[in-house]
Amino acid sequence: MPLIINQQRVNDDTWLRVSEEQPLPSAGDRLVPWALWCEHKATLKAAEGRLGVLIEPDQELEALAPDLPDLALVAINFPSFADGRGFSLARLLREKYGFTGQVRAVGAVSWDRLRFMARCGFDALEVPEERYSDDMLQAFDEISVRYQGAADDPRPLFRR
């Protein structure tokens, strides 16, 4: 799947997405589902490489908060276009929990959501192949003036 990081297309994704059915890799950048993280946290931390956790939109961030210093990536799944809970999770990760690692959107990522995702704190967006085009990068510049503060710039317009 095409990956946009910091509003630019990236060809090399170093993260290996591990499923619950496969054995845990002993090295490398690993992105694991929340359930696998909870079950094998010690083993994953002992291995070489960076760690990431894939969470669903109904995840309680309080349960993840103690582990954030050990993570380089938190991926948030958008199971459908109608589910916007991931926007709130990203903003909470950045503003309430001070997470400075990569926050990645996966699942139902589309052109009309890119700008809003970036404003909420996502810096990486995994776009399904059938929805991606090189023109998508223009979505970030479609609106040049924003009235509200957000995770990308907390100052409202009258403070800028």
Q: Name the pTM for this structure.
A: 0.87
Closest CA to 108 of 88, 135, 132: 132
Domain 3-159 fold? TIM Barrel (3.20.20)
Each residue of 83-140: pLDDT tens digit? 999 999 999 999 999 999 999 999 999 888 888 899 899 999 999 888 887 887 777 7
pLDDT of residue 146: 64
Give me the phi and psi of 23, to 5 degrees please.
-70, 150
Mean pLDDT of 62-76: 96
E strand map for the chain: 3-5, 8-10, 15-17, 29-33, 51-55, 73-78, 102-107, 124-126
Kindly list the strands in the beta sheet with 29-33, ordered across the sheet, starting from the edge strand earlier in the chain.
8-10, 3-5, 124-126, 102-107, 73-78, 51-55, 29-33, 15-17
pLDDT of residue 71: 97
Q: Average pLDDT of the chain?
A: 89
pLDDT of 78 above 80: yes
Percent with pLDDT over 90 in the chain: 50
Question: What is the Cα–Cα distance from 29 to 156, expressed in whole angstroms?
Answer: 37
The answer to whether residues 65 and 92 touch, using CB atoms and an 8 Å cutoff, is no
Long-range Cβ contact pairs of 80-85 (< 8 A, separation 24 or more): 80/107, 80/108, 81/108, 81/110, 81/113, 83/57, 83/108, 85/57, 85/58
Query: In the chain, what are the domain boundaries?
Result: 3-159
In 10 A of CB 138, how many CB atoms?
11
pLDDT of 29 above 80: yes
User: What residues pair up with 52 in beta bridges, in sequence order?
Assistant: 31, 73
pLDDT of residue 124: 95
pLDDT of 141 above 80: no
The answer to whether residues 15 and 31 touch, using CB atoms and an 8 Å cutoff, is yes
pLDDT of 147 above 80: no
- Among the residue ranges 46-60, 72-86, 99-113, 146-160, the one predicted with the least confidence is 146-160
pLDDT of residue 58: 95
pLDDT of residue 74: 98
